[in-house]
Amino acid sequence: MSAEPTSPLHQTPLHALHLELGARMVPFAGYAMPVQYPAGILAEHRWCRDSAALFDVSHMGQLQLRGADAAAALESLVPQDVVDLPVDKQRYAFFTNAQGGLLDDLMVTRRADHLFLIVNAGCKADDIRHLIVNIGHRCTVVPMPDHALLALQGPQAVTALARLDPGVATLAFMTGGEFTLAGASCFVTRSGYTGEDGFEISVPAPQAEALARALLAQPEVKPAGLGARDTLRLEAGLCLYGHDIDTRTTPIEAGLAWAIQKVRRPGGARAGHYPGANVIESQLTSGPSVKRVGLTGLERVPVREGTAIVDGHGHPLGRVTSGTLGPTVHEPVAMAYLAVNHAGLQHEVYAEVRGKRLPMRVTTLPFTPHRYRR
């Protein structure tokens, strides 16, 4: 029997530039993406923490919801306050299913005449279908495959980007605006996925390479790939969809209750009326039976995704969802789901790695402090 033909990988508008820069390309969510450049993941991670790193995140889904009812319509699918979101303010949100599980997490920005959404690459086709089927009669869903998305992250990101348009320096965390960068009309938000100050830039695809080159010409900026993006977000305690959160985890178990505003909680003016509201509201009131926690290793051995976590007697307690040797914190860090009676701070548990039990300690998240510009 012949093997099934594999679909060719999609390429982002920066594909040729990645190859020129010597990137090692890997398949990711149906795209050929740079996992690292010649300097390596460790150097890219540290450069982002100290200066400014440029990431190509054009594989993510960008779309608009248009129509007078768009905000109220979106609220029927997410437990966030979208109706009261001011113009050019951004909010973290998530789609839920009937069991209270997470279909995807996303960013929503209120624009003057529409909502701008960024969804995960692996979920974007399902998300667009979900929106059209459930609220397509209330608003117009407009995918934006003609736009690239760049993330400039790190403490010097504002210095570098402000050379192209000084106005970006006025943005606060989780706000956005229109700016002209290297001749391109871009929508820029002050946000990101590294725990550092930084920006995400939606740019027309034909102008993406010129913008990327203009940014890489700044002395503070170097390219970074998916490898560093993953270690940075893990140290920042940020969830990766399909790993730390998925359809089987609720936002309360995942420690994301902070993202549900008071107006959408029990007793709030617009409580409920989204998929799984009964499950999520019950957990908000009574607490979940399991929760996402941070773990630090007491021995210098990285603990990877899927590793079983047990107690001192070998009884199973949970599983690791993300893990690495933290380049900034210089110790093994991981996130895991544990039964709440074993999830207290400083509680000691054990990771089963190649027949050995490695001691780990429950700790606060994030592992390294966020440095957003509030």
Residue 83 lies in a domain: no
Last residue of a domain, one of 203, 235, 267: 235
Burial degree of 78 (CB within 10 A; 0-12, 13-18, 19+): buried
Residue 141 lies in a domain: no
* Mean pLDDT to the nearest integer, 316-327: 96
Give me the DSSP letters along 54-65.
Answer: EEE-TTSEEEEE
Residue 132 lies in a domain: no
Supply the pTM of this predicted model. 0.96
- Whether the pLDDT of residue 245 is over 60: the answer is yes
Residue 210 lies in a domain: yes
Same domain, 154 and 48: yes
Q: What is the pLDDT of residue 367?
A: 98
CA distances from 373 to 64, 157, 192, 259 (A): 26, 11, 11, 19
Same domain, 165 and 52: yes
Same domain, 301 and 190: no
Residue 171 lies in a domain: yes
Same domain, 231 and 293: no
* Mean pLDDT to the nearest integer, 22-40: 98
Mean pLDDT score of the chain: 97
Same domain, 56 and 156: yes
* Paired tokens of 246: 């998925």
Q: Are 291 and 338 in contact (CB under 8 A)?
A: yes
Same domain, 54 and 184: yes
- Helix residue ranges per DSSP H, 136-264: 157-164, 208-216, 226-235
Q: What is the pLDDT of residue 16?
A: 98
Reported confidence tier of residue 3, pLDDT bands at 50, 70, 90: very low
Q: What is the pLDDT of residue 6?
A: 66
Same domain, 44 and 157: yes
Question: Could you give the number of structural domains in the chain?
Answer: 2
Same domain, 359 and 297: yes
Which residue range is the domain that position 314 belongs to? 289-367+370-374
Q: Which tens digit of pLDDT belongs to each residue from 354-371?
A: 989 999 999 999 999 999
* Residue 118 to residue 105: CA distance in whole angstroms: 9
Last residue of a domain, one of 218, 235, 252: 235
**Secondary element (H or E) of residue 221:** strand 221-223
Residue 81 lies in a domain: no
* Residue 305 to residue 355: CA distance in whole angstroms: 16
pLDDT exceeding 70 applies to what percent of the chain?
98
Same domain, 51 and 163: yes
Residue 318 lies in a domain: yes
Same domain, 225 and 331: no
Same domain, 34 and 156: yes
Q: What is the pLDDT of residue 7?
A: 78
* Residue 179 to residue 149: CA distance in whole angstroms: 14
Last residue of a domain, one of 235, 261, 276: 235
Reported confidence tier of residue 231, pLDDT bands at 50, 70, 90: very high
* Residue 184 to residue 146: CA distance in whole angstroms: 13
Domain of residue 358, CATH code = 2.40.30.110
Same domain, 150 and 225: yes
Residue 313 lies in a domain: yes
Domain of residue 154, CATH code = 3.30.1360.120
* Mean pLDDT to the nearest integer, 282-297: 97
